[in-house]
Amino acid sequence: MSALVVLDVILLVLALLAAGDALRQLQALHYPAHAAVLVLIVVGAFIDIVLAMHGRQVHGWAIAWHAGMAAAGVMALLYPPEAHRWERY
Protein backbone atom coordinates (compact mmCIF):
# COMPACT_ATOMS: atom_id res chain seq x y z
CA MET A 1 0.00 0.00 0.00
CA SER A 2 1.19 3.49 -0.74
CA ALA A 3 1.26 6.35 1.74
CA LEU A 4 -1.74 7.99 0.03
CA VAL A 5 -3.84 4.87 0.52
CA VAL A 6 -2.90 4.70 4.20
CA LEU A 7 -3.72 8.40 4.66
CA ASP A 8 -6.99 7.90 2.82
CA VAL A 9 -7.99 4.95 5.02
CA ILE A 10 -7.12 6.88 8.18
CA LEU A 11 -9.30 9.81 7.08
CA LEU A 12 -12.12 7.45 6.16
CA VAL A 13 -11.98 5.65 9.50
CA LEU A 14 -12.08 9.02 11.28
CA ALA A 15 -15.08 10.07 9.18
CA LEU A 16 -16.80 6.74 9.80
CA LEU A 17 -16.31 6.85 13.58
CA ALA A 18 -17.19 10.52 14.02
CA ALA A 19 -20.27 10.48 11.78
CA GLY A 20 -21.44 7.18 13.26
CA ASP A 21 -21.18 8.50 16.80
CA ALA A 22 -22.90 11.77 15.84
CA LEU A 23 -25.68 9.75 14.18
CA ARG A 24 -26.04 7.66 17.32
CA GLN A 25 -26.55 10.80 19.43
CA LEU A 26 -28.86 12.56 16.96
CA GLN A 27 -32.63 12.38 17.18
CA ALA A 28 -33.26 11.40 13.58
CA LEU A 29 -36.99 12.17 13.61
CA HIS A 30 -36.36 15.76 14.69
CA TYR A 31 -33.44 16.34 12.30
CA PRO A 32 -34.01 14.19 9.20
CA ALA A 33 -31.69 16.20 6.93
CA HIS A 34 -28.79 15.94 9.39
CA ALA A 35 -29.45 12.22 9.81
CA ALA A 36 -29.51 11.66 6.03
CA VAL A 37 -26.18 13.47 5.58
CA LEU A 38 -24.57 11.46 8.37
CA VAL A 39 -25.88 8.18 6.95
CA LEU A 40 -24.42 9.08 3.54
CA ILE A 41 -21.05 9.88 5.14
CA VAL A 42 -21.03 6.57 7.05
CA VAL A 43 -22.03 4.48 4.03
CA GLY A 44 -19.63 6.28 1.68
CA ALA A 45 -16.73 5.98 4.09
CA PHE A 46 -17.36 2.27 4.63
CA ILE A 47 -17.55 1.57 0.88
CA ASP A 48 -14.36 3.56 0.22
CA ILE A 49 -12.51 1.66 2.97
CA VAL A 50 -13.52 -1.65 1.38
CA LEU A 51 -12.44 -0.42 -2.07
CA ALA A 52 -9.10 0.81 -0.70
CA MET A 53 -8.45 -2.58 0.86
CA HIS A 54 -9.08 -4.20 -2.53
CA GLY A 55 -6.32 -2.16 -4.17
CA ARG A 56 -8.09 0.92 -5.54
CA GLN A 57 -5.74 3.75 -6.47
CA VAL A 58 -6.17 7.00 -4.55
CA HIS A 59 -5.90 10.44 -6.11
CA GLY A 60 -5.16 13.75 -4.42
CA TRP A 61 -8.68 15.03 -4.92
CA ALA A 62 -10.05 11.97 -3.13
CA ILE A 63 -7.84 12.78 -0.13
CA ALA A 64 -9.24 16.33 -0.04
CA TRP A 65 -12.80 15.01 -0.34
CA HIS A 66 -12.30 12.48 2.44
CA ALA A 67 -10.71 15.10 4.68
CA GLY A 68 -13.88 17.13 4.19
CA MET A 69 -15.99 14.10 5.08
CA ALA A 70 -13.94 13.59 8.24
CA ALA A 71 -14.27 17.28 9.14
CA ALA A 72 -18.04 17.15 8.62
CA GLY A 73 -18.30 14.10 10.86
CA VAL A 74 -16.20 15.69 13.59
CA MET A 75 -18.14 18.96 13.39
CA ALA A 76 -21.44 17.08 13.61
CA LEU A 77 -20.12 15.29 16.67
CA LEU A 78 -18.83 18.43 18.37
CA TYR A 79 -21.73 20.74 17.46
CA PRO A 80 -25.05 18.87 17.42
CA PRO A 81 -28.10 20.67 16.00
CA GLU A 82 -29.44 21.29 19.51
CA ALA A 83 -26.49 23.61 20.18
CA HIS A 84 -27.68 25.98 17.42
CA ARG A 85 -31.30 26.28 18.53
CA TRP A 86 -32.55 29.50 20.01
CA GLU A 87 -34.13 29.28 23.42
CA ARG A 88 -37.84 29.99 23.32
CA TYR A 89 -39.35 32.02 26.13
Of the candidates 52, 58, 9, 15, which has an alpha carbon nearest to the alpha carbon of residue 37?
15
DSSP H helices, the chain, are: 3-25, 32-53, 60-78
The Cα 5–Cα 55 span in angstroms is 9
Q: What is the pTM of this model?
A: 0.74
Q: For every one of its 89 residues, what pLDDT tens digit does the chain have, with 9 covering 90 and above?
A: 688 888 888 888 888 888 888 888 888 888 888 888 888 888 888 888 888 888 888 877 888 888 888 888 888 777 777 655 555 54
In contact, 52 and 58? CB cutoff 8 Å: yes
